[in-house]
Chains A and B, each alone.
Chain A
Amino acid sequence: MIELFSQAWPWYVAGPLTGLVVPMLLLVGGRMFGVSENMRHICAAAIPGKIPFFNYDWKTAGGWNLTMIFGAMIGGFIAATWLGNPDPIALSEATKGDLAQLGITNFDGLVPESIFSWTGLTSLKGVLLIVVGGFFIGFGSRYAGGCTSGHAIMGLGNLQLPSLIAVLGFFAGGLLMTHVLFPFIF
């Protein structure tokens, strides 16, 4: 039991536990799992302007979701502080080799620290990965009407064809970036 909290969780533990968020939300308040809608709620709360897409009662529609994602941030803090995985991520050797060719050789932590840090943000690479990447995530998820949670987990779980198309798009974009565009960025 102690080991469960001191080691990284394998896919057959983390996967089912992630899927359980769907029935939790449905049973607690009839809510559909989907994280990216929070970005829309933040727009509606902060900078709606005259754009119809952002003029709605965001507290009623999204109060629960904004609360959930704030909780997720706390959960990340709790996991990092008291349940931290002791060992570096058991990344495959093939991935380490591929990333080394891109100049990434430090595999400690969750992200390449030379890029995903405040000093990394001052480099072109940092701006591309953090700012442009974030922009694409926000634009693309709202255009597609959902992200990995709303389309991949909730949508595929509900056997929705539109979600399958969106998820295939997620992977098409990810593969294009990783295999075709990364060599130009790194």
Chain B
Amino acid sequence: MNEKIMQNKSTGRLWPYALIGIYFGIVLTKGEVISWFRIQEMFRFQSFHLYGVIGAAVAVAALSIWLIKRRNAPALDGSPVAIPSKRLGTGTRYWAGGTIFGLGWALTGACPGPLFILVGNGVTVMLIAIVAAVAGTWTYGALRPRLPH
């Protein structure tokens, strides 16, 4: 399964990830990506803003991944940089899981990253949405053997 967790690395130094997280939280706040109103605007096709954000982010990610694959060197901490492909299988999990996710995305007006960033912005009730998301994840884990993938 593509979500098999990599276990061959030690925890390693964590502070660089804290810095990357702080950067991520600032960028998504300043870009208004964490706004419920902006998500509604996107799903109603009434502004280019979030399409521009997502499209530009994918373009930069694609260019970076291409360059990093060409470079073919280990990461700064010596870890191998392997980017495994995702297994398609029947594809059921992707459209079914994706659609369920989308229903929740429109309701909360936030995807998982923004849920946490909104708490930092003072929308503390999103802690309840995070708890609910953990409950949803747990339910998936429990039902996993019986779900079509």
Contact = CB atoms under 8 A, between A and B. Distances in A.
Contact of A145 (B86, B99, B129): B86
Interface residues of A, number: 132
Interface of B: 1-3, 5-7, 9-12, 14-44, 46-62, 64-65, 67-68, 74-77, 79-83, 85-88, 91, 93-113, 115-126, 128-142, 144, 147
A66 B105 CA distance: 21
A43 B137 contact: yes
A7 to B, nearest CB: 8
A130 B61 contact: no
Interface of chain A, main secondary structure? helix
B57 A18 contact: yes
Contact of A138 (B59, B65, B99, B140): B140
A19 B41 contact: no
Contacts of A69: 21, 113, 116
Interface of A: 8-33, 35-40, 42-43, 46-47, 49, 51, 53-54, 56-57, 59-65, 67-80, 83, 85, 89, 91-92, 94-95, 98-99, 107, 110-112, 116-118, 120-121, 128-145, 147-149, 151-163, 165-179, 181-182
